[in-house]
Amino acid sequence: MVRRRPPAWRAVLPLAAWLILLALLPWWLGLSLLLALAIAVTVLQRRLADEDAALIRRALRWGLPGMLFALQRTLGGDAFAWGAALLGALAGYTMLAGLEAWLDRELRRAPAAPFAEWPELAMAPIGPAAEIIELQPPAWQLATGGLPDPLGGGVAHRDGAYVFEIGERIAGADAPVAFSPGGRWFAAQLRHGRGVLLWDRQRERQHRLRGWRLDGWYREQPYLVRRDGDMPLALATVLGGDDADET
């Protein structure tokens, strides 16, 4: 007997309830809760589990509109109140984007050596013992019939998009797909074999890398190549090029 999976909209219900709750509470109380979440995800960044950090980020994005709705209601609900709420939304999401950029600073850190120096480094005299990187090959699978999600639930390819039971939907990618060993990363081929899509589920960032292929995983990070025989490059190195689109 096939066990039916819960619909994806159930993952959105808690976030919608959180938005409505902040809209009904006094605005200053909602603001205090959002500030507490922002401080928690900043101070406890390295101690939070990946799914907990992603949940707090979604709570900040969904909670801000609810708090601003409560603010305009307190101000009287007139044109001035709505204008203040819109200005608050602009300032709030700007600060939220800055916070997420700061939390993601390690991913964007530039590599120590550019691409052109690799042949020189390979021919240089032997120095201190270097770390040997052994990549774990990606386990590519077809998701047409549904696959288990390492972080819980499942994922299926429907109507040209990958639909996760946690409520996420990723379009513009084809089969096959692969998860990193710990489940933090989701990888899929771009349409027509033009590259690879990587989704960082901890930081909720998508990278569409044209002309690149996923070569393997090392310490829960993706390494990519353009063609067979190339030296695998870490994602932080690839993001410094012109062929990476981030969403």
Q: Residue 62 domain-assigned? A: yes
pLDDT for res 131: 65
DSSP 24-56: HS-HHHHHHHHHHHHHHHHHTTTTS-HHHHHHH
pLDDT tens digits, one per residue of 17-62: 888 998 899 999 988 999 988 888 888 877 777 777 788 888 888 8
Instruction: Name the 3-class secondary structure at 10.
Output: helix
92 and 141 together in one domain: no
The predicted model gives 110-137 an average pLDDT of: 64
pLDDT for res 242: 47
pLDDT for res 102: 80
- Domain end, chosen from 103, 124, 155, is at 103
The predicted model gives 242-247 an average pLDDT of: 55
93 and 145 together in one domain: no
pLDDT for res 1: 40
Return all residues near 156 (Cβ < 8 A) that are at least 6 apart. 143, 144, 145, 146, 147, 162, 163
Whether 203 has a pLDDT exceeding 80, the answer reads yes
Residue 238's Cα: distance from chain center in Å? 17
81 and 160 together in one domain: no
Count: domains in the chain: 2
pLDDT for res 2: 38
14 and 76 together in one domain: yes
Q: Residue 116 domain-assigned? A: no
99 and 191 together in one domain: no
Whether 8 has a pLDDT exceeding 70, the answer reads no
* Partners of 245 in beta bridges: 208
Q: Residue 115 domain-assigned? A: no
144 and 85 together in one domain: no
139 and 236 together in one domain: yes
Q: Residue 113 domain-assigned? A: no
CA-closest candidate to residue 4, choices 171, 156, 159: 156
pLDDT for res 47: 79
pLDDT band at 198 (very low <50, low <70, confident <90, very high): very high
pLDDT tens digits, one per residue of 207-240: 999 999 999 999 889 999 998 888 899 998 888 7
Q: Residue 172 domain-assigned? A: yes
143 and 98 together in one domain: no
pLDDT for res 127: 58
Q: Residue 91 domain-assigned? A: yes
153 and 217 together in one domain: yes
For residue 89, give its domain range: 8-103
Q: Residue 185 domain-assigned? A: yes
